[in-house]
Amino acid sequence: MNDFFMLIGFSEILLVIFMQWEVYVAKIIKTFSISSYAVSVFLLYLSFVQHSYLVLILAILTAVIRGFFIPNFILKRLARDPWRERESKPIMGTASSIIISLVIAIFAYVLYEATMLNFIGVLSGAIPIALVFQGAFLVISRRNAFIQLVGYMVMENAAFLFTGYLFPDLPFSVEAGTVLDLIGVVMISGIIMRMRENSPKKSDDIDELRG
């Protein structure tokens, strides 16, 4: 069980590092889709181990909503041809963001060991914590709204992985509510992003909000 979690967890970290060095938005979204399917595969495995139909439902919800629906919804929202949409000027350069990503992974491990390891007792619990930080870093290191949204969803996926592995008996209503909220956030974000690109009225005080 722990080995399988480690495998999925490290795959997730590698996928996020791939997102850090990628500039094409569509590829980042597809990578997120793959990482969501990986989370759902883990939940599926967990449901068989624990004989829990609620975890099985959660695995299916994760695959359908996070793996399929949300990435496709975002891809359709890309204003231009998806394969052309790229971030030309990220806040942080690719090389430095990869190095920072690695530092963040080490920092997350040290932080987890110092604060939670004694109580949770599972060393691999550091993986979701590292993923949360990676997602947050993706949000702050990019200007492109679609990539920022993916960063937020990476954080959500990490929280889901954390729950699934360490606390699978968390009330189902809470986890299902989380999935529903995520759909809402993504759909509203999709509308806002489209509006952002086609804003009819220019504003003089936009600089007040940037930087």
Partner 1 sequence: MDLVYILPMAASLIGALLCLVRIEKFEEIVSIIVSVCTSIFAVLILFSPNVSNYFLFLDGISKIMILTISIVYVMTVIFSTTFFKYIDEPLFQKRFYYLLLNLFAFSMFFSVSVNNFGLVWVGIEATTVTSALLVATENDESSIEATWRYIIIVSSGLVISFIANILIYSATGTLDISKLLSMNSFSALLPLGSMMALVGYGTKAGIFPMHTWLPDVHGKAPAPVSAIFSGVLLPVALYAMIRVIQFTPIEYVKTFALILGFLTVIIAASLMAVQTNYKRLFAYSTMENMGMALIGISLGGYALLGVIILILSHAFAKSSTFFLSGNLLSRYKTLKIDEVKGVAGRMPITAYTLLFSSMAITGMPPFGTFFGEIMIIFVLLSAVHIGWVLLLMAFLALAFISMNFKVGKMLFSDSEGDNMERKRVGTIIPVIDTILSLAIVFFIPLISKVIK
Give the binding site for partner 1 (CB under 8 A): 115-116, 118-120, 132, 135-136, 139, 145, 148-149, 151-152, 155-156, 159, 162-163, 166-167, 170-171, 173-174, 177-178, 180-181, 184-185, 188-189, 191-193, 195-196, 199-203, 205-206, 208-210
> Shortest Cβ distance from residue 104 to partner 1 (Å)?
15
Task: Give the dihedral sign, CA 49/170/10/24.
Answer: positive
User: Which of 142, 150, 166 lies closest to 28, judged by CA?
Assistant: 150
User: Cβ closer to partner 1: 89 or 95?
Assistant: 89
User: Cβ closer to partner 1: 60 or 159?
Assistant: 159
User: Cβ closer to partner 1: 92 or 159?
Assistant: 159
User: Cβ closer to partner 1: 113 or 181?
Assistant: 181
> Shortest Cβ distance from residue 92 to partner 1 (Å)?
17
> Shortest Cβ distance from residue 13 to partner 1 (Å)?
17
> Shortest Cβ distance from residue 111 to partner 1 (Å)?
11
Give 66's DSSP letter: I
User: Cβ closer to partner 1: 59 or 112?
Assistant: 112
Residues in the chain: 211
- DSSP notation for 14-39: HHHHHHHH--BHHHHHHHHHHHHHHH
- What is the distance between the alpha carbons of residues 34 and 15, in angstroms, rounded to a whole number? 8
> Shortest Cβ distance from residue 195 to partner 1 (Å)?
5
User: Contact at 8 Å (CB) between 165 and 121?
Assistant: no
Give helix 145-166 / helix 126-141 axis angle, nearest 10°. Answer: 170
Around Cβ 110, how many Cβ atoms within 10 Å? 10
User: Cβ closer to partner 1: 69 or 83?
Assistant: 69
> Shortest Cβ distance from residue 138 to partner 1 (Å)?
10
User: Which of 158, 98, 165, 167 lies closest to 133, judged by CA?
Assistant: 158
